[in-house]
Structure 1
């Protein structure tokens, strides 16, 4: 009887799915340009809502730090910061001109993923072309779905479809997916929860993200951490020179997945925290020489042994 029981337990162990500890870790940085969290809350966003429910969030992640606040509150500095984990005094993108960027010294976070594991697959899918042209590096696949005359809603749909395809084709360790329609709607109609077109754009982006999240969930032998943020908010039909305007200064940060805490952040978080959170989740020890300005946030304590501290 004892032998039979042992055999049964052995067969169950073999047939059982991989435990969380055995699953390979993967990360997605999801950027929704120009998205205000109060508008997101008003919109019908079942897919972003499930990420919030499966993680921890802040509705007031700051797009500027205490140390440096001279860059403009627009996309170039925002995405430069989000993708590198350093403020604009380091990556040196002060506006959308990218005159003298320092991405050689402060590179896209893919650089650190490949440094830790040269065999890791990295995939970037965007449709605001300066990200691909200036910021992305160390990408095995870098796709820009923008083209002349193509609307952002179409470019976003193409980006989401490409993300699903590349999940299967490349099995990326780290992926960045950008969606631009919300910002475009804000500039055309207004950045505010009361603006129907702005809300509609948020809802459309959310509908595109659903199949992407479904494709990730089907990868049952992998454990994904998804970090969602935006480069700025908006006020009226713009967001430039928003240094004293909370509607522009406040982005949001969602950290979602089995490795994330649950609830709402009690402490102030920043868009600069996205990169160290992703790297820490992947088990990559953050070197002080990288001079990252953020630190890992929202991860379960077992994953944050080596998280870096920072000067904001």
Structure 2
């Protein structure tokens, strides 16, 4: 073998090694499917007293904190936006309970004319991915970038049809096997406003919602994708008396529960700081998506095996 041939072979081996290292450095997805379940107005304070066996099974089998903090004010649109957009209101611009468009100019707009969401990140990285969002509160649709969705569905009157969201979501999961689906319930918030937080009616609503969580978990099992799924269960804010939006810990602290493939079991991480915008970053980390520079969220890496 002459010197030139040897140099050529060494160059080829070096390139192959470099490509292999690059691919391995990026890593594989931690799961093929993420099922996000949001319970509007569900305060972390309620969990110790709540009759929620399905939720507590996810906690037992996974990792969780009861100290995730809401962005201020502790209201709906601003916090759902922060959860899906990986940044706070100072950057995404949604600042109020019912924001449909940013009150502040968004620092960055994506090609769909909205601040970058985790749904758009996944769509850009995987154009063929099945991505869905199903919700009871209509305000959700203004915060998720529906143009990045394969499917989105609004329950017109969840008070008259409380089982509709769970039924439609279950059918969607079994039929489409989505890579990412967000399922957002309004029940705790509605009951908190009408009957009060931390009341018998509020805990009865949580007990009811737990059955819907169980229904969704069962749908994932029936779809045959349980072993490659990560569940995330969380909320936008809590509440006190018949309201929210203030600075009490009952309003500010929400649970974040993550369970499933490649998630540590039995980990409670209350000692670690977590904010709403860290939810989007954690989902992005599951799919190995690169965060936009404008995001300030941090993935909760301690939950992964």
Q: Could you state the TM-score of these two structures normalised by the residue count of structure 2?
A: 0.81
In structure 1, distance between residues paired with 2:101 and 2:276: 22
The structure with the largest alpha-carbon Rg is 2
Partner residue, 2:23: none
1:77 maps onto 2:78 in alignment: yes
Partner residue, 1:86: 87
In structure 2, distance between residues paired with 1:24 and 1:44: 29
Partner residue, 2:278: 273
Partner residue, 1:187: 193
1:136 maps onto 2:145 in alignment: yes
Aligned residues: 266
Partner residue, 1:292: 295
Show the 5 A alignment for 1:110-259.
110-137=119-146, 138-146=148-156, 150-152=157-159, 154-155=161-162, 157-192=163-198, 195-221=199-225, 223-240=228-245, 242-243=246-247, 245-259=248-262
Partner residue, 1:59: 66
Contact 2:31-2:287 within 8 A present in 1 as well: no
- Gaps (5+ residues) in structure 1? 1-20, 303-312
In structure 2, distance between residues paired with 1:228 and 1:134: 18
- 1:38, distance to aligned residue in structure 2 (A): 2.5
- 1:24, distance to aligned residue in structure 2 (A): 5.9
Contact 1:57-1:255 within 8 A present in 2 as well: yes
Contact 1:56-1:254 within 8 A present in 2 as well: yes
Contact 1:92-1:100 within 8 A present in 2 as well: yes
1:261 maps onto 2:264 in alignment: yes
Supply the RMSD in Å over aligned alpha carbons: 2.1
Contact 2:30-2:262 within 8 A present in 1 as well: no
The 3 A distance-change label for structure 1 pair 219 and 22 is: farther
Q: Could you state the TM-score of these two structures normalised by the residue count of structure 1?
A: 0.79
In structure 1, distance between residues paired with 2:29 and 2:39: 31
